[in-house]
Amino acid sequence: MSHAFAWSSSLSWAIGIFLAYGLYFGLTEGVEKAWVADMTPAALRGTAFGVYNAALGFGGLAASLIFGAIWTRVSPQAAFLTGACLALAASLLLYLAFPHAKNSRHE
């Protein structure tokens, strides 16, 4: 979805894209946390959520610094397109890393 920001040409489009992204984030954040809980033994869930949130924090910081550098040195479009390409690559890697993963609630 971040590639849509690169081609946004008006305020109304940008607001619509932000709303769609917010909807996406709201629908997926709970699933991510449920996946962490499902993959972790009960005794280690606190640690797992700590590692999960630390990874999100450090990843968000690194992403923001890189995004800002690309925005400043290349262009805003390049920054958003880089983010979109990295999101696609991460999705593909996640799919390849867990090809046979099942949700324990659906067994």
69 pLDDT higher than 90: yes
pLDDT, tens digit, 9 for 90 and up, residues 80-99 = 899 889 989 998 998 888 77
Is 31 part of a structural domain of the chain? yes
Q: Is residue 50 part of a domain?
A: yes
In a domain, 107, yes or no: no
Tokens 């993963």: give the residue.
Answer: 101
Phi-psi region of 41 (alpha: psi -120 to 50; beta: other; left: phi over 0): beta
State which residues form the domain around 43: 2-102
* 8 A C-beta contact, residue 74 and residue 6: no
In a domain, 40, yes or no: yes
Q: For the whole model, what pTM was predicted?
A: 0.65
Residue 70 lies in a domain: yes
Q: Is the pLDDT of residue 28 over 70?
A: yes
Total domain count, the chain:
1
In a domain, 73, yes or no: yes
Q: What share of the chain is helix, strand, coil (3-state, %, to 5)?
A: 85, 0, 15
21 falls within a domain? yes
